[in-house]
Amino acid sequence: MTESLSIAGNNLAYEVSGQGPLVVLAHGIGDSRHSYRFLAPALAGAGYRVANVDIRGCGDSSLGWDGYSRTDIAGDLVALVRHLGGPAVIIGQSISGGAATIAAATAPDLINGVIELAPFTRVQPFDLGGLMRVKRFRTGYSQMAQVLIRGSLASWKKYLDAAYPVKPADWDAELRRIEAKLSEPGRMKVLQAMCKTSPTDAGAQLANVTCPVLVIEGSLDPDWADPRAEGEKIIADLPRGIGELVVIDGAGHYAHVQTPDEVFALARPFLDKTLANA
């Protein structure tokens, strides 16, 4: 059942399943909580109370928010944890990985751990060498440029084709769902607004995180020429000893959809440890 949390006159849509310690799932740009359609039931079945949220401006959440930065999204996630009764672990993908970092740094009493999936948590320098060397990175970069500049749904679909090196079994139906949602008035504007935000705010908070962090990258993610190197830089900017990096071979930007069993196998022991006394 879809529920709604009112935040400053806007509505944040989410659904809760399962019983136990709280895990909050937050998706990336241009997506919705449906992104976690495989992982959410697995976590609920493993004994967790799973809150799967449509981040502001996406899915069933309302339009018209005053900002779409990682700091803005982090504030929503903290408000949801407080509303549901924390503490919680946040699993955040892409832009929400950066938001989860900020939430952990600014609300350590509520956030016990963070799992970041293909996170944009650091400022990305222009990588000319990577664009020249790596075709998938060049493809992803060029398509995202068209999304940012023109709001092109066709380019977003081409980006997704690169971001999913192997498609899930329900991909045709899922792509139609994504296309229908982004065709609603205002939804593509939100995607563009999120594309324009900088991860500077998240990067600045990495040193302030005190809880355990698991970073999961896909080796074929088109958002970086070298996803492992990006993950290593995130770990290096965290306080020593709290971060761990795992790279899933053959996965793209959406490992939780393409390889949900592998992500679950990594997430479960992390959750068991960090939420043991929650």
The mean pLDDT of 205-233, rounded to a whole number, is 97
CA separation for the pair 201, 192 (Å, rounded): 18
CA separation for the pair 215, 114 (Å, rounded): 8
CA dist 182 → 62, 108, 173, 200, 262 (Å): 13, 34, 14, 27, 29
Q: Read off φ and ψ for residue 213, nearest 5 degrees.
A: -130, 130
| CA-derived radius of gyration, the chain | 17
| pTM more than 0.85 | yes
Q: What are the pLDDT digits (tens) for 15-27?
A: 999 999 999 999 9
Give the pLDDT of residue 277: 66
Of 147, 148, 144, 101, the closest CA to residue 120 belongs to 101
Mean pLDDT of the chain: 95
Q: What are the pLDDT digits (tens) for 220-270?
A: 999 999 999 999 999 999 999 999 999 999 999 999 999 999 999 999 999
Pairing of strands 49-53, 88-93: unpaired
Give the pLDDT of residue 278: 67
Confidence of residue 169 (pLDDT cuts 50, 70, 90): very high
Kindly tell me the number of DSSP H helices and DSSP E strands found in the chain.
Answer: 12, 8
Give the pLDDT of residue 276: 77
